[in-house]
Structure 1
Amino acid sequence: MNTRRRPRPRPKPRPRRTGGRRHARWLRRRPLRTRLTLAASLAVAAVAVGLCAGSFLVIRHQLLDQLDLHLTQSARLATQQSRHEPPGVLQGECRYLAAPACAQTVPARPADDPAKPYLLPVTATTRDVAAGDHGPYYSELQLAGHRSRMLTTPLGEDRALQVAVRADTVDRGVRQAAVLLGGLGAAGVALAGILGAWVSRTGLAPVSRLTATAERIATTRDARHRIELPPERAGRDDEITRLAASFNTMLDALEKSVTAQRRLVADASHELRTPLTALRTNAELLSRASRLTDAQRERAATALGRQMREVTLLVNDLIELARDEEPDPLIEDVRLADIVAHTVDAARGHWPDVPLVLSVDPGARTAGVLGVPARLSRLLSSLLDNAAKFSPPGRPVEVTLVSGAAELELTVRDHGPGISDEDLPYVFDRFYRARAARALPGSGLGLAMARQIARAHDADLTAGHAPGPGAVFRLRIPSRTTPS
């Protein structure tokens, strides 16, 4: 039996990270202010160094041009003075910085050279210039241990003229320019760092305030904090300021939402306290049913059932108010006239003493709307319950549905006491109950829920005074194509 173990596969070597990747990873870990400072500093430093380097090259080129111009002028003067002189050294004192340019004439044939040696080097190219086979040219050489520059140019009669001058002044000027521009470049780099830090601090100041405000809200959970915006900013907002203003707008909405949520919880707790207390009282009373008479037990059981229904209705209304907009799959294209007819028939069974009169315009019978049928029916039933609750026995509640150019208008009108001017702005607030309605059953959530459902369907629900006694509620909802 072979018991040899299979060799384990060697792990693949990990790719080594290059210096560029390490630097990029290090840079990504730095704060935004540090990265912005580095970017601004490098940009300004690159411009400063580039300007200094360009200035150095321009100065060096100009100094060399001046030296070449000096050689050309010296050659022209030597040509005028030595046209009939024999070959040889004309001026040989250029080893001194203040001396004029040294010059010599060279024949085209070595046989015509003078006995005295030349001061400047003579090459085959020099002979070609003398013979007319090569043009004038500049060259570099060393004279008495100093760098010099020489011009070789034709003189005529098979001769060439060589003129040289020391380049110490040019070298000294180039070194001085390099030192000066190097200092300016270093100062520019330092100034770039200072400006980069200032730019990053100034540019990111609104972001810092935004971050501090967000952290303060996250720590204290208090949405009342705001980001301080610059004064007189109309028409001159930058992107950061607009971001801060948008963040303040979002905080306003968040504060309103939190305030509304707290108010809803407080109001719901207040509204639930009374029925829950009554439920507990009746439940404790029924727990001692052996001590009660049959009439007392019947009355307690009836009260307990009625209070259970009220609590159930209140909890359902609270759940409806806490719901967000319906998801898209639940939205349908439906006939609003059919929903209105069905809801009115259901309301007649709940309010047998109140006549409900329905009138539907012929154009509205086939008009469709986009919505959730169950929620639209809940909206209509809230309006009908509110109208029937305030209508005197025998007085009708008029329900009218008419079609317009691009919308349907539903009107619910009662003949009750109506809505007072002081209560009209608050009829759709949660748990708000007018002074005249506090003795009637209800929790004050029906109209608030109706307004919420209307807004979820892009509809407009308003309340007003009816002609004569009574109140009128109008629902305007966009109409759609006729459903098949």
Structure 2
Amino acid sequence: MTGAGRRRLGAPWRRRRPLRTRLALAATAAVALVAVGVCAAAFLVVRGALYRQLDLTLTQSARLAAQRNPGAGPGVLAGECRFLAAPACAEVVSADPAQDPRPPGQLPVDPAAREVAAGERAPYYTNITLAGHPARMLTTDYAKGRALQVALRADTVEDGIEEAAWWLLLTAAAGVLLAAVLGSWVSRTGLAPVTRLTATAERIAATRDPRHRIELPSRGPSGREDEITRLAGSFNTMLGELEQSVTAQRRLVADASHELRTPLTALRTNAELLARGERLTAEQRERASLALGRQLREVTGLVNDLIELARDEEPQPLVERVRLAPLVEHCVSAARSHWPGVAFSVRVAEAVAEAEVAGVPARLSRLVSNLLDNAAKFSGGGLPVEVALASPAGADGGPELTVRDHGPGISAEDLPYVFDRFYRAGTARALPGSGLGLAMARQIALAHGAELVAEPGPGGGALFRLTFGPDG
């Protein structure tokens, strides 16, 4: 089998552990390392303290032996080190091995002891074994050419060190076990919001319903939130935006299907009439043909409006600096040709005669044209439409365009829904249009960083106010 095949077969065994397991292991390892480190440090401290106490006793015993036996020759001075309760045993070691006594003493003599006797090395402590028992020995200077060796049984010290080692080992094991429990608890508690977030995401993926939310803990007295809680809050906010988007999409589809049903039915009826043209008179065929063309234009306009509404933002490569005054005058000129029975008046303030904004010229023209068409639609009977381009009074913002008609105006009940797609007030349902013009105007305004609002005009009629940002 090739190496790639072995890697594919072994891949399931090398999958990464879940985040909760990894966090628990990390917390356990951290606490266990601290517990083991503390126990190891405590063992070294206890061991060092016991040996320091024994070394202090050996130093005092060596001083007493030297005081009691000044100038003694090589050989045993005192003591019997084979017994636990016996006092310290002492022997004198010569720098010259030829001067060693016969028989030799109980304490071992190594070359280092000869160096201390010769004055070539400092005193030192060492662990030895006497008659099968542990002992501690001090080798120090005694007289010229001689050194003094003092030893004590170290059974109690070794037993204390062993007992301390066992207790500290049990403490470390308990610490590791406690670390495992705490690590599991920390991972389960710390990742609880993440677990809820994952469960919510999986539930949304399974049900395709964005109405689900993550349960957030209540804020404390200080109102502070940790990173996980903020993440869950951001996820809930994203779900809210997604729910609004899905709801708007469903409403758009439902409204579009409702609006398209009538013209499509009329198209089918007229098409069927024209298919039986031999049964119709010339006048009837011409009437059906004209109606079919008009309905095709309505459906085409409606579909084009829907396509433009489906676009969320303007294409950046097409954005340029646009002078508003010429654009508004051009749109008004086009509106006069479309609505010959409506009087349009334009007023441009000198302060904004050269004002420019960043945008797509074709889209801005569509925005202004939609406002003008809406105003002309309600200005029947020769009522004028007033268009003004000026700077907001007492404000530092950009230019402001107002379009006012003198028609029936907008009722308080209809005002919140003026810019909704396919919304048509009761007084406008008999007029031509699909109810998408103002919705499209609002979307184009938002894409250009402008604000479009509707309000009742002073003295009657409706007033639409388009305000651009200060940076254009």
**Could you say whether these structures have the same fold, taking a TM-score greater than 0.5 normalized by the shorter chain as the test?**
yes
In structure 2, do the counterparts of structure 1 residues 163 and 263 end up closer, same or farther at CA, with 3 Å as the change threshold?
A: same
Cross-structure match for 2:250: 262
The correspondence of residues 239-318 of structure 1 with structure 2, limited to 5 A, is: 239-318=227-306
SS state of the match for residue 119, structure 1? coil
From 440, 451, 454, the counterpart of 1:463: 454
TM-score (norm 2): 0.90
Partners of 2:11 and 2:189 in 1: CA distance? 25
1:401 to partner: Cα distance:
1.2
SS state of the match for residue 392, structure 1? coil
Deviates most, 426-435 or 141-150: 141-150
Partners of 1:133 and 1:377 in 2: CA distance? 105
CA contact (8 A) 1:314 1:443 kept: yes
In structure 2, do the counterparts of structure 1 residues 382 and 143 end up closer, same or farther at CA, with 3 Å as the change threshold?
A: same
CA contact (8 A) 2:219 2:225 kept: no
Tell me the amino acid that sits aligned with residue 344 of structure 1.
Answer: V
Q: Deviations over 1:103-159 (max 9, x none)?
A: 234566778766665333455655665565554332333322222222233445765
Tell me the amino acid that sits aligned with residue 19 of structure 2.
Answer: L
From 474, 477, 482, the counterpart of 2:468: 477
Partners of 1:188 and 1:401 in 2: CA distance? 78
The correspondence of residues 62-101 of structure 1 with structure 2, limited to 5 A, is: 62-83=49-70, 88-101=75-88
The correspondence of residues 338-377 of structure 1 with structure 2, limited to 5 A, is: 338-377=326-365
Tell me the amino acid that sits aligned with residue 470 of structure 1.
Answer: G
From 121, 134, 142, the counterpart of 1:147: 134
From 175, 178, 194, the counterpart of 1:188: 175
In structure 2, do the counterparts of structure 1 residues 369 and 108 end up closer, same or farther at CA, with 3 Å as the change threshold?
A: closer
From 182, 196, 210, the counterpart of 2:197: 210
Partners of 1:335 and 1:225 in 2: CA distance? 47
Unaligned runs of 5+ in 1: 1-12, 18-22
Cross-structure match for 1:328: 316
SS state of the match for residue 358, structure 2? strand
Unaligned runs of 5+ in 2: none
Percent of residue pairs bearing the same amino acid type: 68
TM-score (norm 1): 0.88
From 404, 422, 426, the counterpart of 1:431: 422
In structure 2, do the counterparts of structure 1 residues 379 and 85 end up closer, same or farther at CA, with 3 Å as the change threshold?
A: closer
Partners of 1:45 and 1:124 in 2: CA distance? 45
SS state of the match for residue 94, structure 1? coil
Partners of 1:236 and 1:479 in 2: CA distance? 36
Partners of 1:211 and 1:119 in 2: CA distance? 76
Tell me the amino acid that sits aligned with residue 440 of structure 2.
Answer: M
In structure 2, do the counterparts of structure 1 residues 343 and 110 end up closer, same or farther at CA, with 3 Å as the change threshold?
A: closer
CA contact (8 A) 2:267 2:295 kept: yes
The correspondence of residues 221-232 of structure 1 with structure 2, limited to 5 A, is: 221-232=208-219
From 409, 413, 430, the counterpart of 1:418: 409
Cross-structure match for 2:154: 167
1:406 to partner: Cα distance:
4.3
SS state of the match for residue 257, structure 2? helix
SS state of the match for residue 30, structure 1? coil
1:337 to partner: Cα distance:
1.4
Partners of 1:157 and 1:275 in 2: CA distance? 127
RMSD across aligned C-alpha pairs, in angstroms? Answer: 2.8
Q: Deviations over 1:362-382 (max 9, x none)?
A: 333321111111111111111
SS state of the match for residue 140, structure 1? strand
